[in-house]
A = this chain, B = another copy of it.
């Protein structure tokens, strides 16, 4: 394996199986052929065009779109095309700073190939001997996605109605018991973009990344059951695991590689994949 394999894995897709999803006259997502078939006839507001699925409403407001999409998602679950609703609304936007186009249950985001946003935090410790360590979480065995895989100390999808930083503070408290005064020291350091063909459809994701330097005596504790524990790893061991294994959740590898690049743990003189990694971590979505 190589670092770049993880980037390629997170961007594996064949767009010939997708058609555009049009809302308010704008292409906002992508629907895979199998899901287009499941959507055909499911709701009168969803019109099947030759090369697109079009949400067609007389009253074309974000609120009206959200109400119809809630019915559509329920219909998909009833038809067996989605396992369940997540009961958590995501805001649909063309970019994080853009206006809300509508809201939709998190479970259906990929069915419509909508952009999803999330926050990931690197919790690191600079020991008194100068060595850099990263807190690594292990995902609970009952997680639907990537059970038992290693994860960042804090990570979470972005629900509608919260700022990214407030979401980070909430997740930091729930996932790692980091008190808000400490979590507030987290520094936004960029974002990673990728897009792959997932179980239910396209995943054009943007992960906003944060670094938090933690005191040597801080020990994270999971409070929401999402993680089964934490270990403080020397950063060199983390990088070796990223390079040689699939032990980390697929997209967490990318967050760690971005951390390694920003902190000079990978260097352009020594790492042949350096430039390919840099471009690979920030790919425009289709």
Which residues of A approach B to under 8 Å, CB–CB?
Answer: 95-97, 163-165, 187-191, 193, 206, 208, 261-264, 266-269, 271-276, 278-279, 281-282, 284
Do B206 and A264 touch (CB < 8 A)?
no
A262 is contacted by which of B262, B271, B279 (Cβ under 8 Å)?
B262
Are the C-beta atoms of A188 and B267 separated by less than 8 Å? Answer: yes
Inter-subunit contact B272/A97 (CB<8 Å)? yes
Smallest CB–CB gap between A158 and chain B, Å?
A: 10
Q: Is the CB of B189 within 8 A of A261?
A: yes
Q: Is the interface of A mostly helix, strand, loop or mixed?
A: mixed
Q: How far is the CA of A191 from the CA of B274 in the complex (A)?
A: 9
Complex Cα–Cα for A282 and B263 (A): 18
Judge whether A279 and B193 touch: CB under 8 Å.
yes
Known contacts A282-B279, A282-B282: A262-B95 contact under CB 8 Å: no
- Supposing A268-B208, A269-B165, A282-B282 touch, asked if A95 and B275 sit within 8 A by C-beta, the answer is yes
22 A-B interface contacts by CB (under 8 A) = A95-B275, A96-B275, A97-B268, A97-B271, A97-B272, A97-B274, A163-B269, A165-B267, A165-B269, A187-B264, A188-B264, A188-B267, A188-B268, A189-B261, A189-B262, A190-B261, A190-B262, A191-B278, A193-B275, A208-B268, A278-B282, A282-B282
Q: Which residue from B164, B189, B273, B282 sits with its C-beta under 8 Å from A269?
A: B164
Q: Which chain B residues border A96 with CB–CB below 8 Å?
A: 268, 274-275
CA A193 – CA B265 in complex, angstroms?
A: 20
> What residues on B are CB-neighbors of A97 within 8 Å?
268, 271-275
A273 vs chain B, min Cβ distance (A): 8
Chain B residue contacts of A95, Cβ below 8 A: 275-276
Residue of B nearest to A280 (CB): B282
Besides the contacts A97-B275, A164-B268, A279-B282, what 11 more A-B pairs have beta carbons closer than 8 Å? A96-B268, A96-B274, A97-B268, A165-B267, A187-B264, A188-B266, A189-B263, A190-B262, A190-B278, A193-B278, A279-B284
- In the docked arrangement, what's the CA distance between A54 and B249, Å? 46
Q: Which of A193, A261, A274 has the most CB of B within 10 A?
A: A274
Q: Report Cα–Cα, A190/B279, bound state, in Å.
A: 10
